[in-house]
Amino acid sequence: MRALRCTITFRDGAKLFATAKAATQESEVPVHYDGALMHFRQPSVDTLGPMSLGFLEWYLQARSMAIGATLQVQFEGEFEQYPELCLQMPGSINLPLAAVAIRSVAPSQLPPDAAV
């Protein structure tokens, strides 16, 4: 699980905190906001829906620059691997990607009766 904590410091010293946790890079998760919410103009942060951690970081960087605030970003932990991803081919067994290995073999290493 990867956690993101962003701290926006406004010109007057007030701070807004945004925190979120996600299992994968693509996960859209709710964001918890605390602090000087009144400093963040339209759209209000409480009207924003779930988002990925990457989008949240990008969004807060853009908003901070637009209003002359500073942004501090802290990450903790790592995204989980993708256990739900499988190599899926029609007519075959679905194998986890971690279990799939591709090996190249030179034609001279093939048995004489192998079809090429």
Query: CA triplet 10, 1, 95: central angle to 5 degrees?
Result: 140
Q: Name the pTM for this structure.
A: 0.64
Q: What pLDDT band is residue 77 in, cutting at 50, 70 and 90?
A: confident
H or E, element range at 61:
helix 53-67
pLDDT of residue 70: 93
Residue 6 half-sphere exposure, CB side, CA atoms within 13 Å?
Answer: 24
pLDDT of residue 104: 43
SS3 at position 72: strand
How does pLDDT run across 78-96, given as a tens digit for each residue?
887 654 554 444 554 444 4
Q: What is the percent of the chain with per-residue pLDDT over 70, rounded to a whole number?
A: 63
Task: Quote the CA–CA distance of 2 and 23 in Å, as a whole number.
Answer: 6
pLDDT at 116 over 60: no
Task: Quote the CA–CA distance of 58 and 34 in Å, as a whole number.
Answer: 19
